[in-house]
Amino acid sequence: MASKEFSRKLKELRIRAGFSQKQVYEHFNIPQSTFSSWETGKAEPSGDMLLKLYDFYQYSPLKDWNTDTVSGLTTEEYDIVKIYRDLDIYGKELVITVLKKESERSFKQRMKEYSDRLTELSQSREKQPVADTNPASANNIEIKNTEK
């Protein structure tokens, strides 16, 4: 049985390469159930088949070993960095401008959502009935007046 992470990665590679399951299992002339079991974690391909899949998906597993493990970049982030590095100075400036604007917009949106949530919580607390703070009534104890 394959790990969930392995099967998730295998499926992600296929989707990134732009293939349907049917295209892949027909290309390699393997049963659909076999291929599906690789992506669901019920089984895993042989080492030889895995290399064929990597080649078909145009994926280099060495790329994962060459990433900065301290930064924790995902494969998608790594690909974005590669594209960014190929840009000329104008393209890089444009990307930085867009990223700054989007970061600011996203931050404002998160703050608004946070503020709205606090307002909701505050309003819901105001609508709740105030609990009786008398300890005797909390325990349903009847206190009799013994004074005469």
pLDDT tens sequence across 21-68: 999 999 999 999 999 999 998 999 999 999 999 989 888 876 665 545
Give tens-digit pLDDT for 70-102: 456 777 887 888 899 999 999 999 999 999 999
CATH says 4-66 is which class? mainly alpha
Rounded CA-CA distance 98/104 in Å is 10
Q: Of 64, 75, 13, 74, which is closest to residue 38 (Cα–Cα)? A: 13
Domain ranges of the chain: 4-66, 87-127
